[in-house]
Structure 1
């Protein structure tokens, strides 16, 4: 496919993904109130536990509207995840063989529940993160949290963990497309392990390391499972190339008969 065709295809996929997010944002607009109440609970619990004042506030007149619009879009990103994940797969699909499409279709189907699982993990650890970060408030002081900053903090954590759970699927898809070999991914395992444990320490802070390991182990399991799939795919691709090369050499070494020359 020429470069212009690739760019045109990318534009079409981005437009479809944006439409999906917009439709999800409409649903998020109506889900705003119940989700906002759930997001406020960690702050309210801190106020009850410490006996101090902790609340989410708006600093300007237009902040409540901006807050609702931003939260609706963030909800729309989660709701429309099947749409934009499919658009990513549909964009790389033309460059794959029929057999590779079957593999990547399975990974694309797995990507949606993995992304949602990451969002759910983020939702589960948000109260611990908020409590851990606000426990440094000195006695006699209050936490007057800006609403926009609070929603940015929470939603970014949810989406970040969702994408973190999605990274192994992306790695496998890129490997299936022949862009990134499995050995190249494996070389970065030390950095990956370090980053995963840093993320787990931030997302699940506690008095012990159990919560950190409970969050880090699934992420590492997904990452190394993706490496195993990529390495197996590289070996399969290498065997296929060797087979084609052997068949080509066999054809080149076959002597040409008089009948073949006459047919030419």
Structure 2
């Protein structure tokens, strides 16, 4: 394909992905008033009555301090949920664009990484949602008695979305170590020697990334990440062991990239065949007077 053909295909696939995103976001915009909004507010509404704002009947509520606040909140939630719902379609468009330039093993790795990364992101988001109520209760209870906590809708929903995204993305980081090992950039020995530093930096990363900044949520993020990193280290050990066995079957794996392999380029002698026997008979001297051929 020419450059213009590649750009045309890219434009068409981006247009299809955006169309799917718009349709999914439109569905999420409708879904917000039919259960999605209640699902997002559930961790906050599940808190004790003294830790949240409510009316005389005890129903919880979030405050909106400007005219367009409700519209922007609904649009933000709709876009994020629409991106998640349409992820299989726009990921397929991305995959269909890059797959013609990949080899067979690269295609296999690509499908596996897309599937595993999707599962890990979903697991991180689910874990964040489960821990949201405990984190909110811990943080809001630190205000003490005599303080009425009234969260605005912008702050609360922004906090919930950032927590879900932070947990989902953090679960993808150990997968990056496996990818670097598969391409030969990061070896098992380096991961094994750096295991303590990796675990320490994981805790530091969780402390900075978690929006709540409380130790409960930090440890809840760091714990699964450490387990995933240990799993990545063990996968790297298996991959390097198989790579070493495959290299041992080759005779020139110890040579540098600039050194020629010690191949013997001298042609070997061929066994005499019927054609060689006929040539020997033709080349043999003939008894009797020589006959001169004329042309």
Partners of 1:108 and 1:216 in 2: how far apart? 23
Deviation at 1:238, TM superposition (A): 6.0
Alpha-carbon displacement from aligned partner over 1:226-248 (angstroms, at most 9, x marks no partner): 233345445555665673846x8
Q: Would you say how many aligned residue pairs link Structure 1 and Structure 2?
A: 254
Q: Does structure 2 retain, via aligned residues, the 8 Å contact 1:24–1:77? A: yes
Output one character per residue of 1:207-235: Cα deviation in whole Å (capped at 9) or x when no partner: xx7x8766544322222222333454455
Instruction: Decide whether the 8 Å contact of 2:53 with 2:148 is kept in 1.
Output: yes
| Counterparts of residues 1-264 of structure 1 (less than 5 Å) | 17-33=17-33, 34-46=35-47, 48-50=49-51, 55-86=61-92, 93=99, 96-176=102-182, 178=183, 180-183=185-188, 186=191, 189-197=195-203, 199=206, 216-234=222-240, 236-237=242-243, 243=250, 245=252, 249=261, 252-257=263-268
Q: How far apart are residue 69 of structure 1 and its match?
A: 0.3
Corresponding residue number in structure 2 for 1:262: none
Higher helix share: 1
Q: 1:171-212, CA deviations, whole angstroms, 9 ceiling, x for partnerless residues?
A: 434544x37423597266445423543538957957xx7x87
Unaligned runs of 5+ in 2: 55-59, 254-259, 271-295
TM-score, length of structure 1 as denominator length: 0.72
- Name the CA shift for 1:14/1:193 in 2 (closer, same or farther; >3 Å): farther
TM superposition shift of 1:119 = 1.1
Structure-2 change in CA distance of 1:57 and 1:75 (3 Å): same
Which one is further off, 8-17 or 229-238? 8-17
Q: Output one character per residue of 1:86-143: Cα deviation in whole Å (capped at 9) or x when no partner.
A: 5666666566532243233223222222221111111111111221221122432222
Secondary structure class of the residue paired with 1:228 = helix
- If you compute each CA radius of gyration, which structure gives the higher value, 1 or 2? 2
Measured at CA, do residues 225 and 83 of structure 1 come closer, stay the same or move farther in structure 2, by a change above 3 Å?
farther
Tell me the SS of whatever aligns to 2:150.
strand
Deviation at 1:155, TM superposition (A): 0.5
TM-score (norm 2): 0.66
Do the aligned partners of 1:43 and 1:56 also contact (CA within 8 Å) in 2? no
Q: Is the 8 A contact 1:82 1:112 kept in 2?
A: no
**What are structure 1's unaligned runs of at least 5 residues?**
260-264
CA distance in 1, matches of 2:3, 2:237: 30
